[in-house]
Structure 1
Amino acid sequence: MYRFLLTPRWWVINVFTVLAIPVCLFMGSWQLSRFEARVETHNKQQDQASGTEDTAEPLRALLPVTDRTAGRPATATGRYDTAHQLLVPDRQLGDRDGFYVLTLLRTTDGGKALPVVRGWLPGDADDKADIAKVPAPPAGEVTVTGALQASEHQDSSGVRATGGLPRGQLGMISAASLVNLVPYGVYDAWITSATAPGALKPVPPAVAEGTGLDLKAFQNLGYTGEWFVFAGFVVFMWFRLFRREAETARDLALGIILSKTPVPTPAAPAAPGDHAADEAADDAERTRSPSATA
């Protein structure tokens, strides 16, 4: 009865079903993992805001920066390069405009230099009066603790292009921007210092793109449900086709075959006195029986 499963048509159906179900389940699980990762980062951001964040870890243990390590507290020891202090203009804190004060920390572990945003200052990075308020970095060996951040890109929100800036200013915080400004290697990451000296204010860690409970997070959750529904639909359609084919095979085995030959419709009886219809009937009879006219 089930020999139809060996036909080429059903081979195609079976192969498609066997491949489609795991793909749908995999994509649904992947979308669910994306949503769970966003929930985890959201919880970490809430912990950081409430002051219950994790204990600071060495910088090297958190590199490279990923969605899971971005925003986590990191610690590094070294000496500030006072000759290469830079200002990052057009940065907002709350509803006020200002600029970041960035200083490179030459780490003592023999690695690359770490960009450290020591704080934020309201004002204009082109105004000498505002620049004069920037405190000098501390001398000697220091240990800096702050939130780890990924390198910025030109398409990031609030990031100004590097070109056209005056000397001593930096458009975006990244190793690509610093490579032509300093004679040594720079980590492809930066930290915002947890403490800010003088008139500076600490910079809160930026939320990494693709993290947190935003609209895209709930889109991931919706896609999860869609992929699982697709998997169920594939199974439903396979069983529906199988049942229909099995019923047809059973009917054939029992000899229940529906004739596809159309049943001729009987001609309507001629009305009394319709001589034209009678003559037409006689002509048809003579045509069928040539011997009758002999």
Structure 2
Amino acid sequence: MTAPTEVFPPTLREVMLRPWWIGMLLLCLVVAGVFAWLGQWQLGRAITEAQVAEGETEQVRPISEIVQPGEYLPEPFVGQRVEVSGTWIGADFLPVTGRYNDGVEGYWVTGQLRLTEASEPTSLAVAIGFAATEDDALAAAAQLEGTVGTTVTLTGRLVSDEGPLPPPPGADPQEMIRMSPAALLGRWHDVEGLDVYRPYLVSDSADAGLADISSPPPAAGSAVNWLNLFYAAEWAVFAGFAFYIWYRLARDAWEKEVEELEDAAAS
């Protein structure tokens, strides 16, 4: 009876030290190095981009220096005071409910301001002032209709879109409970070919008998852009994954080779 052939399969380490797999490891090092560089770049942006000098938001600047129509408001400039000039569009003085002003619940009266400095038709949603009751808000809106066509210059704070939200069940379907330029745009007039700013302006000074909206300076926060920080962590994971792929492929090749040798010896 013939004795079975003795098999001496290679170890995983021996397979990994073969020229092919060493070459693959060098390629993975290059890929991981690129990912690491991208992660470092994102990390640098996360820390430096969000840094705004103390009091910078209180310096009134042209809106064009802060954000462009259709763009999201960069985090460092939320609450930035800006100056704009334009004319009100008629029939677009709309109330937003559920607003609080120094602890008092009421309404904001909003308007569509067509900017005069823009080369293309461009509008900015403006929170004009606060009213304690719906009747006061509607009366102010009616009074503001008399200012349509007159150029006005406003200063105020830029605030990010709150996002549209439907009214609660049983409420008026036209009621707006969030300050959202996207929602206001759906009810504005003269919007064909119109560019619109995503953030809105909280006016410093109210009109038409409305109360000024309380809009204190933004609280000093962390000088970290968390989105960029997340991207930096992602690139670090990708770099580690490149080495895992190399290890997994080398191990699969080793297991396949061992299996083939054992099958050959058994047959």
What interval of TM-score do these two structures reach, taking the shorter chain for normalisation? 0.5 to 0.7
Contact 1:85 1:102 in 2 (8 A): yes
Instruction: Output aligned runs, 1:36-51, within 5 Å.
Output: 36-40=48-52, 43=53, 46-48=55-57
Matches within 5 A, 1:1-294: 7-40=19-52, 43=53, 46-48=55-57, 53-59=58-64, 62-63=67-68, 64-67=71-74, 69-108=77-116, 109=118, 111-121=121-131, 123-125=132-134, 128=135, 131-132=138-139, 136-137=143-144, 139=147, 140-154=150-164, 160-161=165-166, 166=172, 169-185=175-191, 187-189=196-198, 190-197=200-207, 198-204=209-215, 212-213=221-222, 217=226, 220=229, 227=236
Q: Which runs of 5+ in 2 are unaligned?
A: 1-15, 244-267
Whole-angstrom CA distance in 1 between matches of 2:81 and 2:67: 9
Question: Structure 1 stretches of 5 or more lacking a match?
Answer: 155-159, 235-294
Task: Write the distance in 2 (CA, Å) between the matches of 1:76 and 1:92.
Answer: 25
1-side partners of 2:98 and 2:171: how far apart? 11
1:57 deviates by: 0.7
CA contact (8 A) 1:56 1:145 kept: no
Match of 1:285 in 2: none
Letter of the structure 2 residue corresponding to residue 112 of structure 1: T
- CA shift, 1:60, in A, is 8.1
SS, match of residue 105 in structure 2: strand
Tell me the TM-score normalized by structure 1.
Answer: 0.55
In the TM superposition, residue 24 of structure 1 has moved relative to its aligned partner by 1.9
Cα root mean square deviation, aligned: 4.2
Is 2:79–2:159's contact at 8 Å kept on the other side of the alignment?
yes
TM-score by length of 2: 0.59
- 1:141 Cα deviation from its structure 2 partner: 1.9
Residues 98-150 of structure 1 show CA distances to partners (whole Å, capped at 9, x for unaligned) of: 221101223335613322111233x354xx36655778337222112222334
Query: Can you list the C-alpha shifts for 1:183-229, whole angstroms capped at 9, x where unaligned?
Result: 3125133211122244412342797xxx94289859939x67x959x
Question: Matched residues in 2 for 1:60 and 1:166: separation?
Answer: 39
Q: Secondary structure at the match of 2:92?
A: strand
Which residue pairs with 2:250 in the alignment? none
Does the Cα contact within 8 Å between 1:78 and 1:141 map onto a contact in 2? yes
Equivalent position of 2:264 in the other structure: none
Residues 147 and 175 (structure 1), Cα distance of their counterparts in 2 relative to 1, 3 Å cut: same
Distance 1:28 1:7, change over 3 A: same
**C-alpha displacement of 1:87:** 0.8
Residues 59 and 75 in structure 1, CA contact (< 8 A), matched pair in contact too: no
Residues 36 and 9 of structure 1, relative CA distance in 2, 3 Å threshold = same
1:31 to 1:95, Cα distance in 2 relative to 1, 3 A: farther
Provide closer, same or farther for how the CA distance between residues 206 and 124 of structure 1 changes in structure 2, counting only shifts above 3 A.
Answer: farther
Asked if 2 retains the 8 angstrom alpha-carbon contact of 1:103 and 1:116, the reply is yes
Task: Name the CA distance, whole Å, in 1 between partners of 2:214 and 2:142.
Answer: 16
Give me the identity figure in percent.
16
